[in-house]
Amino acid sequence: MTETGSGTSSQKDFMGAQWIWYPSERTLANTVILFRKELVVTKAIREARGWILADSRYRLSINGRRIQWGPAPADPRWPEADPMNLTDVLQHGTNVLGVAVLFYGSGDGTWPIGKPGFLCRLTIQYWDGTIDEVISDPSWQSVVDRSHPPGQYRRWTSRQNRMAS
């Protein structure tokens, strides 16, 4: 599958990225984990595009500003990754990528993949021809979101409670 935009085409690619979650053996249904990664931009960006996928829902923010949320409900046999275009969002200097991930648990028709976590890969192309990759891996900081206590029922979709920033 390819995405076309801005005159370019990119293959859906997660090479090197890892499915990550909070380092714990047990996860209650309806647990929200907050992930954080700093990225320093020192050159002019030509394009910053990538893909993101989560079980069960995610909210992506850059420098505290909500950028996108998803994934759209899909058949659990074929999980869908969402494209990211951060070209006009990343700033010169330090940027903070934040991803809040809500794991529904299993059953009740809310079992998109069945394993809590998220996966992402962002490719940043600079005008000087160099490229940086930001991938999900254990270097991301993670913490349980205590403002949404684990195990408490909540519905989080694009039409409801968008976990406003």
| pLDDT digits 0-9 by tens, 81-90 | 899 999 999 9
Residue 126: predicted pLDDT: 98
| pLDDT digits 0-9 by tens, 88-139 | 999 999 999 999 998 888 765 555 577 889 999 999 999 999 999 999 999 9
The rounded radius of gyration (Å) of the Cα atoms in the chain is 16
The answer to whether residues 133 and 16 touch, using CB atoms and an 8 Å cutoff, is yes
Q: What percent of the chain has pLDDT over 90?
A: 55
Q: Which has the closest alpha carbon to 155: 120, 108, 117? A: 108
Backbone angles phi, psi at 160, to 5 degrees: -130, 155
Q: What structural domains does the chain harbor?
A: 29-144 (2.60.120.260)
Instruction: Give 4 or 119, the one with higher predicted confidence.
Output: 119
Backbone angles phi, psi at 116, to 5 degrees: -65, 145
- Most confident range (mean pLDDT) of 59-73, 107-121, 144-158 is 59-73
Give the pTM. 0.83
Judged against a pLDDT cut of 70, whether residue 6 lies above it is answered with no
Q: How many alpha carbons lie under 13 Å from residue 147 in its C-beta half-sphere?
A: 5
What mean pLDDT, rounded, does the chain reach? 83
